[in-house]
Chain A
Amino acid sequence: MLLNQFLLLAAALFAIGVYGVLARRNGVLVLMSIELILNSVNINLVAFSAVSATVGGEIFALFIIAVAAAEVGVGLAMVLLLYRNRRSIDLTEIDQLRG
């Protein structure tokens, strides 16, 4: 397959993820959108790694998977905290801070 096809897939996932973060109001869906962006990066890295015949990209992808797991753990904990306090995970409802 052509490298382009992988890059286009990654770019499409990236764009969907960015749209999700900006447009979604549900906290969990925003977290999922962030995961989508991180996975688009993984596709990019693995594709580049295969093309250039170096392992750097594949190792990097493994690190990203691990860090993304840690990050989403913290994110879900925060969404849970929000739910406990407000019985809602709608991010547009958190508006205590503005100047």
Chain B
Amino acid sequence: MFAQAETVATPEVLWWALVPLLVLAGAAVLLLTVASLVRRLPEWLPAAWTIVAGLAVLVSVVPLWNEVQDDGARSFLAGAVGIDGSTLFVTALLAVAVVATALLSRAYLTREDLPGVELYVLLLLSAAGGVVMASANDLIVLFLGLELLSIAVYVMAALHLRRIQSQEAALKYFVLGAFASAFLLYGIALVYGATGATGLARIAGYLSTTILLEDGMLMAGFGLLLVGLGFKVAAVPFHAWAPDVYQGAPTPVVAWMAAGVKAAGFAALLRVFVLTFGSWSGEWQPAVWGLAILTVLGGSVVAVVQTDVKRMLAYSSIAHAGFLLVGVQAASDRGTAAVLTYLGVYTLLACGSFAVVTVVGGAGDDRHGIDAYRGLGARRPWLAGAFAVLLLGQAGVPFTAGFVAKFGVIAAATEGHSYALAGIAMVSAAVAAFVYLRILVALYMEDRHLEDDDEAGAVEVDPAPWGPRIVITVSVALVLVLGVVPGPLVDLAKDAVPVLVGG
């Protein structure tokens, strides 16, 4: 029966282009297997393993990047998966976020006395999902990546066994996340119905060559896709989950949500809207325009009235999503490059900021009120100084990387003649600066010891373990260096503009 040695036609697979994904997924599966076979794993091993995997991905991205820059973007697996500059750029950001989260998690799990292999396995799987999203060339693949990313994060949010807030945050995140995925799927189904294809290149080809007499279904599909992805990146009015989840989830997991999940979400948004629906940008730009305005204003204004620093940072991350949407709304190469630059800077800022919050939170992960930060400048000058730099970076003060990021998206908006949007974005940047200044004032101007001393003992902050210390030091250094010499990051982002290749 098999004597004739028949060949089976299989789709072409570029294994070299899959290396980052295979490293992440393979590391996760291996870690899980070893941990279930070996009874007592050394405590440091899972974290070290995750960090090595993250660094290996970073290293493997470099030759792939050169290959893509020389030979151009490629698609393979029957056109379902693509590799281009933006794929590799976002993969590198995810790898950085994985390393940072693993460093924070090690210190966190030790302090909270929690068992720890699962967190690292889920982190690696979630990062693999993010890489799948960033390389998706087909809506099916995009959905699979999104679910791999999200389901792992739902469980990560619930991992603090003894904090009821952690479980509550996870359940809220799960219900709203699954709800959002369902909307996204309905949108995908409608787009498939309108265009007859799920491949991004095919849809793009169909949309740029066909005049639809009845475009209601396609418009509904655009809308539902935007709602689904808007939920994932926490854009107003789909942001309701973010403050609660950020407040309740373990702080290292929040660092991953802010840095990793957001980067993957925007990679998907860029691929689907700017790239695939680019020829119809006139139809979806107004919706993104409205979403961007609501998000920058909503995030900045509501952050002002918060008293919990984790919630403040949650709203500020919503405002950052708004600035990223300003870049998406431009629907141009410049806008895309600005979004990628912003994502790079925000990854550093988010990892650094939540590293400080992890340290200040103390045992029990409960001290997140702004009171816990009063007078920190006097007692822990280095920690407070680092937090100050990171907050100024988030505010977008010149000579920090945050300024470069905000300047990029606003310049892209004005180039696209969205002057009102650029103006509103600048105003809300000023409003948001007030939030960061409030924390800065608490750090330096108010001395806790001079006021009521009933809780004074409770605000002692333990010295930072080496894991968070590395994350804080590296992120602060990079935020300052990129603020003065932004060239390398901006140039990389320019070369990373995504391209669609049909299969």
Q: Which residues of A approach B to under 8 Å, CB–CB?
A: 7, 10, 14, 17, 21, 27, 30, 34, 37-38, 40-41, 44-45, 47-48, 51-52, 54, 56-57, 59-60, 63-64, 67, 70-71, 74-75, 78-79, 81-82, 85, 91, 94, 96-99
Contacts and interface: CB of A to CB of B under 8 A. Distances in A.
A44 B151 contact: no
B151 A74 contact: yes
A15 to B, nearest CB: 11
User: Considering residues A17, A40, A45, A52, which has the most beta carbons from chain B within 10 angstroms of its beta carbon?
Assistant: A45
A82 B11 CA distance: 45
Given A41-B189, A44-B190, A97 B248 contact: yes
B465 interface: no
Interface string B179-205: 101110110111011001111000000
Interface of B: 139-140, 143-144, 147, 151, 154-155, 158, 164-165, 167-172, 174-175, 178-179, 181-183, 185-186, 188-190, 192-193, 196-199, 243-244, 247-248, 306-308, 311
A13 B171 CA distance: 24
User: Considering residues A10, A30, A78, A94, which has the most beta carbons from chain B within 10 angstroms of its beta carbon?
Assistant: A78
Contacts of A27: 171
A96 B160 CA distance: 15
B179 A81 contact: no
Give 6 nearest A-B pairs by CB, closest first: A37-B182, A48-B193, A44-B189, A97-B244, A52-B196, A41-B185
A98 B244 contact: yes
A78 B143 contact: no
B154 A85 contact: no
22 contacts: A34-B175, A40-B186, A44-B189, A45-B192, A48-B193, A52-B193, A56-B198, A57-B189, A63-B143, A67-B143, A70-B147, A71-B147, A74-B151, A74-B154, A74-B174, A75-B174, A78-B158, A78-B170, A97-B243, A97-B248, A99-B243, A99-B308
A97 B249 CA distance: 11
A78 B192 contact: no
A19 B171 CA distance: 19
Given A37-B183, A97-B169, 15 more contacts: A38-B182, A41-B186, A44-B189, A44-B193, A48-B189, A48-B192, A67-B144, A67-B147, A75-B175, A78-B167, A79-B171, A94-B172, A96-B168, A97-B172, A97-B244
Nearest to A39: B182
B247 to A, nearest CB: 5
Nearest to A61: B189
Contacts of B243: 97, 99
Nearest to B171: A78
Nearest to A47: B193
Contact of B144 (A34, A63, A81): A63
Contacts of B139: 60
